Amino acid sequence: EAAVTQSPRSKVAVTGGKVTLSCHQTNNHDYMYWYRQDTGHGLRLIHYSYVADSTEKGDIPDGYKASRPSQENFSLILELASLSQTAVYFCASSDGRTNTEVFFGKGTRLTVV
Amino acid sequence: AQSVTQPDARVTVSEGASLQLRCKYSSSVTPYLFWYVQYPRQGLQLLLKYYSGDPVVQGVNGFEAEFSKSNSSFHLRKASVHWSDSAVYFCAVTPRNYQLIWGSGTKLIIKP
């Protein structure tokens, strides 16, 4: 079964600190995504990637960087964490065709204090 | 610009009753349409999808959805809900490119 694994599952970070969220997929998918979920909102796309060593900006990239060192791994980096970045973050993967399923990880709950 | 609207943030239904969750989209072309479900502290899972053809599509666990081009809608239905259906349901569309556009979600609460 397709699998997307996120780590950590939860994290408390200090304002101004650096945070790295990791994602690993075993689906052999080309596309990987980082989404943010806030209460009362749907998912908002932060960054995505369709090939290793390349990332693209999504709808809300400000304050976030992404890294895709291999097809299987995709990281989200908050260089200077802020209170407004408290949210649940989801990693996902798909094979890139528009009519196919997106597979999600279980999410990382990030609290910035 | 494409958008997805789920007008009901929260829906409460008695166990055994029927259910409809609403979804309307705005797109310049007929998109591909999806319903996903999110159980507590879990990622999202696909319930069903529509690409073309029969406007009524069947999904897992007795869910179905009906596409209406004239109404730009893709409502989710279930004939008889179970307590385990309590979750947040998301409608999403992809206007034939890589990117999904998400609704804000509807939280389904099942009353015993």
Q: Give the model's pLDDT for residue B83.
A: 95
Of B32, B42, B105, the CB nearest to A99: B32
Pair of tokens at residue B62: 């007795």
Distances (CA, A) of A74 to A22, A84, A93, A107, B23: 6, 22, 10, 14, 31
User: Which residues on chain B place their C-beta less than 8 Å from a C-beta of chain A?
Assistant: 4, 6, 9, 32, 41-46, 49, 51, 90, 92, 94, 96-100, 102-105
Mean per-residue pLDDT for A36-53? 89
Q: Give the model's pLDDT for residue A101.
A: 82
Residues of B in contact with A58 (CB under 8 A): 99
Report the mean per-residue pLDDT for chain B. 92
List, for residues B48-91, the tens digit of each pLDDT value: 999 889 999 999 999 999 999 999 999 999 999 999 999 999 99
Q: Give the model's pLDDT for residue B21.
A: 98
Q: Give the model's pLDDT for residue A39.
A: 78
Mean per-residue pLDDT for A3-25? 97
Mean per-residue pLDDT for A93-103? 79
pLDDT bucket at B41, cuts 50 / 70 / 90 = confident
Pair of tokens at residue A36: 């943010």
Pair of tokens at residue A46: 């932060």
pLDDT bucket at A98, cuts 50 / 70 / 90 = low
Q: Is the peptide bond before B7 cis (omega within 30 degrees of 0)?
A: no
Closest-CA residue of B relative to A105 is: B43
